[in-house]
Structure 1
Amino acid sequence: MAHIDLGVDETRFPGITGPMRFRPETAKPLNELAEVLLRAPHSLPAGERELIAAYVSGLNDCDFCCTSHSAFAAAQLDQGLTLVGQVRADLDTAPIPEKLKALLRIAGAVQRSGRAVTPELVEAARALGATDVEIHDTVLIAAAFCMFNRYVDGLGTFAPEGPGGYYADSARRIVEHGYTESV
């Protein structure tokens, strides 16, 4: 049970969906931010941007966000949930492009502290072809998901078990309709 009465059935509106229904005036800009960062036209595919969100959420031990964004990434990546699991288990050996590994290293640094992002991490990403927009958006995705993760866990929201069910349904909805139509 959440730390506050969100006024919703938590099993029907788990994780971030309960707090967003509780305060729709704050949900709107948060969903708009997620839409721009994770789904808007970009040089990084949406599945890779969702993978950044899942990776940071996993580092933050946010079960709801990690499982949600793992499902959202998997629905948009050819190798699906297997690839997401490989990235989360061992970034260095995961079968993803080196540029994406470099961006995920930057995201991991942001998760620890914004000051952990070093010129060396940025230059390594640039050397592998990352653009300034990709680096910027990686940092912002990581920072935003630190906030989203703390929002979800700070209110003690309910997270359904396992990768199927709720998360698979949410992935279909997000991929089809996006974040601004999902609350």
Structure 2
Amino acid sequence: MPHVSIKAPVPGIGGLLATRPDTAQPLMLLAETLLRGPSPLSRGERELIAAYVSERNACRYCADSHGAFAAQQLDGGEELVKAVLADPATAPIDARLRALLRVADEVRAEVTPASDETVALARAAGAEDADLHDTVLIAAAFCMYNRYVNGLGTELPADPDHYRDSARRIVTHGYLRQRA
């Protein structure tokens, strides 16, 4: 049960955004910029980073949402996302993305710089400054989103198709679409 009154019967972050449109606008603009704006990382890769950080933070709503968004935008779909969330070391992804997920996990776990070793591994796998920048910012932002959603005790959707329906909307229209 949510710890605050929710104006709309929408699970996860949706109810919080409907309840506080003043904070919803900058939060959704940040998500739009990080996950759909210009980046050397594909939209699917960025959603996968968000899903991975959310999984590691035990934020079921965000992990399942962004996992669905990633699945719609990556070759390999849901099976690839499941493999990455279970263990990126054995998932069928390239070395660059695997190394960036390791950077994201370090950022998620500690409020310290990513280790020189992890950054060096990412660079050796082909990651450039923009890849590292975007990965760290996505990881940091999703720590905030995860804490927002979990910290206020939001509810999970009753219908498992909620994530697929949301994925179709986000992939097509983005995060800034007007909410009903």
**TM bin (shorter chain):** over 0.9
Say if 2:101 is the partner of 1:100. no
Q: Which residue in the other structure is 2:161 paired with?
A: 165
Determine helix, strand or coil for the equivalent of 1:133. Answer: helix
**C-alpha distance in structure 1 between counterparts of 2:158 and 2:5, whole Å:** 22
Give the aligned partner of residue 115 of structure 1. 112
Hey, which bits of structure 1, 4+ residues long, moved more than 4 A? Answer: none
Q: Distance in 1 between the 2:109 and 2:162 partners?
A: 29
Alignment of 1:1-183 (within 5 A): 1-9=1-9, 13-115=10-112, 117-160=114-157, 164-181=160-177, 183=179
**Is there any run of 5+ residues in structure 2 with no aligned partner, and where?**
none
The 1-side partners of 2:126 and 2:22 are apart by: 39
Q: Could you list the runs of 5+ residues in structure 1 that have no partner in the other structure?
A: none
Partners of 1:66 and 1:96 lie apart in 2 by 18
Q: CA deviation at 1:159?
A: 0.8
CA displacement at 1:160 relative to structure 2: 1.7
> Partners of 1:111 and 1:50 in 2: how far apart?
15
TM-score normalised over the length of structure 2? 0.96
CA distance in structure 2 between the aligned counterparts of 1:102 and 1:82, rounded to whole angstroms: 20
How many residue pairs are counted as aligned between the two chains? 179
Quote the Cα distance in structure 2 between the aligned partners of 1:51 and 1:77: 9
Residues 39 and 134, structure 2, Cα contact 8 Å, conserved in 1? no
Task: Report the alpha carbon displacement of residue 116 of structure 1 after superposing the two structures with TM.
Answer: 5.8
Query: Residues 81-136 of structure 1, C-alpha deviation per residue, up to 9 Å, x if partnerless?
Result: 10011011111111101000000000000111131610111111111111111101
User: How much identity, in percent, do the aligned residues show?
Assistant: 56
- Tell me the TM-score normalised to structure 1 length: 0.94
Separation in structure 2 between the aligned mates of residue 5 and residue 15 of structure 1, nearest angstrom:
13
